[in-house]
A = this chain, B = another copy of it.
């Protein structure tokens, strides 16, 4: 019996996660030492490895094929890393996880190619599972991620978007990879089809929770905790759930709504104006309302773990849902 209370899922899964780490470092190596160091630094700064963790847990829930799970887990994490590299170039972000982005060190051309290189390496890891179905999920997840990011670019700068539009966007951008990770893990673990679907749903739900928490943290945290400036989304004109909740409580024609519109549209990009709106959103209770929505997604994810036959794994999947909601950065 695994003792989840002492150490928790991250400690219990450490040997499997270490195997993922080894695969990741192998894939991140490249012939040019200076560039290789940058990529390795980026890969090593990768936080909790929640995506591979979900994949590993979904796999071990049924039968176990640890080598293939580690390969696919590394593929999922590297796909995530590649997408962050391109995303930072798109956003021209200077900091990520408190470290300078590649974008702030290299030319944008070099960063594009390094992102492509990481995509290629992640696709090779997916192909190394030898499962056409895993590869197919992998490829359609990449398409979903691009779709979410394109939506953010072309659609997000509007206050009048619906909740459905927001959810579709964050599904693509974030939840699709958690959903894909859980689904790939379940397939590698030879789970019955109904359970593959349930686990995909689990991944999708914790992914939605993850992104909503991210969107809340963007308002809540100071630069040093978040690793990027607070209110970054608003500065970019990106409307997320807290802003939508806040806007829905404002009266048409009110000064607060005018201030918000000016910032979202980019008509007013003065840092003081952005910070004032950030403070107003914080004070409105919208962050707490959004957090409750994240918790609703996490609760649904937990319910979906009922299909998992192994009690230890089930508890760990539940713990991951809690980690997603409780993380502070």
Contact = CB atoms under 8 A, between A and B. Distances in A.
5 closest A-B pairs by beta carbon, nearest first, are: A90-B109, A123-B139, A120-B143, A120-B142, A117-B146
Given A32-B154, A89-B109, A153-B110, A127 B116 contact: no
15 contacts: A30-B150, A86-B116, A89-B108, A89-B109, A108-B108, A113-B146, A113-B153, A114-B150, A116-B145, A120-B139, A120-B140, A120-B146, A123-B123, A123-B142, A127-B139
Contacts of A138: 123, 127
Interface stretch (A10-18, A52-60, A129-137, A204-212): A129-137
A136 B146 contact: no
Interface size class of A (residues with CB under 8 A): 35 or more
B113 A112 contact: no
| Number of copies of this kind of chain in the complex | 2
A91 interface: yes
Interface in A91-112: 91-92, 108-110, 112
A121 interface: yes
B116 A142 contact: yes
Contacts of A142: 116, 119-120, 123
Contacts of A119: 116, 119, 142
Given A116-B142, A121-B143, A132-B135, 16 more contacts: A30-B147, A35-B150, A35-B154, A90-B109, A109-B153, A112-B112, A112-B115, A113-B150, A116-B119, A116-B145, A120-B139, A123-B142, A124-B140, A124-B143, A127-B140, A131-B132
A81 interface: no
Nearest to A144: B120
A224 interface: no
Given A123-B123, A127-B136, A132-B135, A90 B117 contact: no
